[in-house]
């Protein structure tokens, strides 16, 4: 700025000197002086424009070269092992593949279930000059607070696998089609329940944390089938309960009480994730029931779930491959960091929309109260396709799953 001002001052001074000289000359050289002055003025304008353009280009180049850091805010380690064992790993790999350096260009932190900690982490991200905050919220209220903090600090926000159904909404929500997650559970469990040969099976819906909007979406997916069968008089809904914090201990307490209230008459359980499914299995076995005779769903394809499935204690888990999910979020973060318009970005997802006020997908255009939603497609894992899914995709090796007594039920391909 000082250099530009100095150039302007010298140019104007030169022009003024020429103009003064012309005014003091009474011959016919007035036209020439005027032409010289106009030429000088033109050169001054062009020089000014060139200088400003150069400074703008240099500034933009620096901004693009250093687009600010990316902060990833993970929620905890308790609700699912995936956050630390899978998501962190794939974020790190994705950012490093793009040439970013951990601790300088990107930072990954975990709030371990504490909302105050997660808000403090968001504040630290802003102080660090973050251009993007990639958030897995602990609840929508916390998510809205963090979104506000990030926006005030000039950062873009990505809701990752948990939607913030509060506040102004993130710039993009990257997740699987979460209603389809619940539908996938129903597609697998419905024929298994019918195959029990039980007259009017007693069915439980054990949903995720009420603070998590995804819990509502998962439930909406499997409730379509459960409620339709109940309305038809085919099944009876014994319980429809949410589990605070998605915590296994809360799920087991809830399931214990359900068994007491029903006199142990439970024939199937729609458990919203693998942690809850494992708690259901423990509760059933503690009550002296055979969990292999009770169809149970799950989600996240955890190692424990793979083992329970091989043992016949859990019927299925919804497979949401974390690597492509994390890759999509990395893609979004890098695009936002580089100033790209996400509506022009394509990838292995469906670009749809989700409403902030309802937390459900919508046909409304993205804008005020409606967030861009990059939705990936989930699939089911059963005992028949573990090798074709988590093993083939490199998420686990058979040696990770087939330990101790589990080795006795592993397929021959496990070696």
The predicted-structure confidence for 302-347, as pLDDT tens digits, reads as follows 999 999 999 999 999 999 999 999 999 999 999 999 999 999 999 9
The SS3 of residue 260 is helix
155-172 pLDDT, tens per residue? 999 999 999 999 999 999
Look at residue 141 in the predicted model and tell me its pLDDT. 96
Domains of the chain: 69-177+321-377 (3.40.50.2300), 178-320+382-414 (3.40.50.2300)
What is the residue-averaged pLDDT of the chain? 87
Contact 156, 150 (CB under 8 A): yes
From 215, 189, 166, select the one nearest 267 (Cα to Cα): 189
pLDDT for 12 = 38
pLDDT cut 90: percent of the chain above it: 81
- pLDDT tens digits along 40-90: 444 444 444 444 333 333 333 333 345 899 999 999 999 888 899 999 999
pLDDT tens by residue, 175-217 = 999 999 999 999 999 999 999 999 999 999 999 999 999 999 9
The pLDDT assigned to 54 comes to 37
Neighbouring CB atoms inside 10 A of 31's CB total 9
Contact between residue 356 and residue 370 where contact means Cβ atoms under 8 Å apart: yes
pTM higher than 0.85: no
What element of type H or E holds 19?
A: helix 2-23
**Arithmetic mean of pLDDT, 256-277:** 98
Backbone φ and ψ for 130, nearest 5 degrees, come out as -60, 135
DSSP helix/strand/coil, 355: strand
CA 186, CA 330: separation in Å to the nearest integer?
Answer: 31
């Amino acid at each position: 700025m000082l250099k530009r001002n100095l150039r302007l001052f010298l140019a104007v001074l030169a022009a003024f000197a020429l103009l003064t000289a012309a005014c003091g000359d009474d011959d016919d050289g007035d036209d020439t002086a005027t032409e010289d002055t106009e030429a000088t003025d033109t050169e001054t304008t062009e020089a000014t424009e060139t200088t400003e353009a150069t400074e703008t280009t240099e500034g933009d180049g620096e901004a693009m070269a250093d687009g600010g850091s990316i902060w990833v805010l993970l929620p905890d380690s308790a609700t699912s092992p995936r956050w630390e064992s899978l998501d962190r790993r794939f974020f790190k790999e994705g950012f490093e593949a793009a040439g970013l350096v951990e601790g300088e260009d990107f930072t990954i932190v975990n709030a371990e279930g504490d909302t105050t900690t997660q808000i403090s982490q968001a504040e630290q991200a802003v102080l660090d000059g973050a251009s993007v905050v990639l958030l897995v919220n602990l609840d929508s209220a916390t998510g809205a607070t963090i979104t506000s903090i990030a926006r005030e600090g000039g950062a873009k926000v990505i809701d990752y696998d948990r939607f913030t159904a509060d506040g102004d909404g993130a710039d993009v929500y990257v997740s699987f089609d979460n209603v389809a997650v619940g539908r996938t559970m129903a597609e697998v469990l419905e024929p298994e329940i019918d195959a029990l040969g039980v007259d009017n099976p007693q069915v439980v819906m054990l949903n995720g944390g009420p603070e998590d909007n995804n819990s509502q979406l998962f439930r909406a997916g499997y409730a379509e089938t459960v409620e339709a069968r109940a309305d038809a008089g085919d099944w009876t809904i014994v319980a429809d309960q949410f589990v605070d914090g998605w915590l296994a201990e809360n799920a087991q307490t809830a399931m214990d009480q359900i068994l007491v209230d029903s006199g142990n008459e439970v024939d199937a359980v729609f458990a919203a994730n693998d942690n809850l499914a494992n708690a259901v299995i423990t509760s059933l076995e503690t009550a002296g029931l055979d969990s292999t005779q009770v169809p149970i769903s799950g989600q996240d394809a955890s190692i424990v779930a793979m083992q329970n499935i091989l043992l016949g204690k859990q019927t299925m888990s919804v497979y949401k491959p974390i690597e492509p999910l994390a890759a999509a979020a990395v893609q979004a973060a890098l695009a936002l960091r580089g100033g790209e318009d996400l509506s022009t970005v394509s990838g292995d997802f469906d670009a749809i929309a989700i409403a902030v006020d309802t937390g459900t997908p919508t046909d409304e255009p993205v804008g005020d109260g409606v967030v861009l939603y990059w939705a990936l497609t989930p699939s089911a894992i059963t005992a028949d396709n573990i090798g074709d899914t988590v093993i083939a995709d490199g998420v686990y090796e058979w040696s990770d799953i087939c330990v101790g007594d589990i080795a006795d039920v592993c397929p021959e391909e496990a070696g």
